[in-house]
């Protein structure tokens, strides 16, 4: 823990950045209540993520403001995934392309004018990367790892992930019944970007017959052989859980759109429909694709995410009280800990080849379409 305890923490900013995620409000609650009760500090909510810091939109958070919000999805502060201070779109060129500016100094000025001793940044890899310019500008940032994708380096898990897995698992349960009724192949596309954690965990939990991950390029031949093999055994329905970042061997990821104003301009999506069409054309079996989309981000967090978010938020407040600077709260080997926030910038945690759940799934007969 890097520390400098010469100055007590009196006033702390807090924001939620990137895509929304179940459990954000539980972290806001834990950070705010701990700082107020244990440290007699003021907490200032920064609205709409880093965009609120850029535009100087902040408001005090009192104890009662964060009571009764732990089970509420989304975030009471709002969020934005298009606000990187180092590369912020401020207008357009004559040809329609965006004009970018570095507005880091503006953010630093706003933080200083608000009297913030530190900022708690609740977000994923994009948020932690964007915060590096603030840190270079002298702002103390304590990060809390949020992501349904579970793709933040340095932590074994991010809050929001388990809720997304439960949502997808529930959907797969329902897909099973309609697939069996019509003897169909059902392709269910889930989120995850370049990391296949949601598809892997939910695919296993939901009993998917085939799981396609970004980390393991799939073979259409292998998928069709698996479907045929199941059909010969009298299993006329097949469930495929595919991550949005998955791609066919030798092919490219399916890109839904490109947003040049976003720090992460590539929007993946559509691979499920592509695969469904290929299967139906190849083997003639009726195949349908379902995209779960943003339903994976919404709603009430499961109990495990509420507990994890509370632990993360409490530890973030404890780090500030101890004088820590520029740390990221993590969970490693079951223990809440913290690491240098700079260690996770511009990196993604993907499913490794030796992931135990991957091996367990293979040995019970789940195909990853790579044979």
**90-105 burial, b for 16+ CB within 10 Å, e for fewer?**
eeeeeeeeeeeeebbe
Any idea which residues carry the catalytic annotation? 149
C-alpha to C-alpha distance for 288 and 272, rounded to whole angstroms: 9
Give the residue from 122, 120, 169 showing the smallest Cα distance to 22: 122
The structure tokens 């500008």 sit at: 137
Question: Counting Cβ atoms within 10 Å, is residue 40 exposed (0-12), middle (13-18) or buried (19+)?
Answer: exposed
**CA-to-CA separations, 180 to 163, 177, 321, in angstroms, rounded:** 26, 5, 56
Taking residue 108's Cβ as centre, other Cβ atoms within 10 Å add up to 18
Q: Give which of 267, 264, 223, 216 is closest to 244, Cα–Cα.
A: 267
User: Which residues are CB-neighbours of 368 under 8 A, at least 6 positions away?
Assistant: 210, 211, 212, 213, 216, 218, 358, 361, 362
């Amino acid at each position: 823990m890097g520390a400098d305890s010469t100055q007590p923490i009196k006033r702390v900013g807090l924001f939620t950045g990137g895509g929304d995620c179940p459990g954000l409000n539980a972290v806001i609650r834990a950070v705010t209540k701990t700082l107020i009760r244990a440290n007699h500090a003021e907490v200032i909510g920064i609205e709409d993520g880093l965009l609120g810091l850029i535009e100087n939109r902040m408001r005090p958070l009192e104890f009662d403001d964060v009571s009764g919000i732990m089970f509420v999805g989304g975030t009471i502060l709002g969020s934005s995934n298009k606000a990187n201070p180092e590369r912020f779109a401020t207008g357009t060129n004559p040809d329609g392309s965006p004009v970018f500016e570095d507005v880091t100094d503006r953010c630093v000025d706003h933080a200083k004018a608000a009297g913030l001793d530190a900022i708690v940044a609740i977000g994923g890899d994009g948020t932690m990367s964007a915060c590096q310019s603030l840190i270079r500008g002298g702002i103390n940032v304590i990060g809390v790892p949020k992501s349904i994708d579970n793709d933040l380096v340095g932590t074994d898990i991010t809050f929001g992930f388990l809720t997304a897995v439960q949502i997808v698992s529930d959907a797969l349960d329902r897909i099973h019944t309609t697939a069996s009724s019509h003897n169909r192949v059902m392709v269910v596309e889930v989120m995850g970007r370049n990391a296949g954690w949601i598809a892997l965990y939910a695919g296993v939990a939901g009993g998917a017959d085939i799981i396609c991950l970004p980390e393991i390029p799939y073979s259409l031949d292998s998928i069709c052989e698996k479907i045929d093999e199941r059909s010969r055994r009298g299993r006329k329905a097949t469930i495929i859980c595919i991550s949005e970042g998955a791609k066919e061997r030798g092919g490219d990821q399916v890109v839904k759109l490109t947003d040049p104003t976003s720090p992460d301009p590539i929007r993946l999506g559509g691979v499920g429909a592509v695969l469904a069409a290929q299967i139906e054309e190849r083997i003639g079996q009726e195949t349908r694709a379902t995209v779960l989309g943003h339903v994976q981000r919404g709603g009430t967090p499961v109990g495990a995410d509420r507990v994890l978010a509370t632990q993360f938020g409490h530890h973030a407040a404890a780090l500030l009280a101890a004088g820590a600077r520029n740390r990221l709260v993590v969970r490693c080997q079951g223990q809440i800990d913290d690491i240098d926030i700079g260690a996770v910038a511009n990196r993604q945690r993907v499913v490794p080849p030796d992931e135990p759940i991957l091996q367990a799934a293979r040995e019970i007969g789940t195909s990853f379409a790579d044979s």
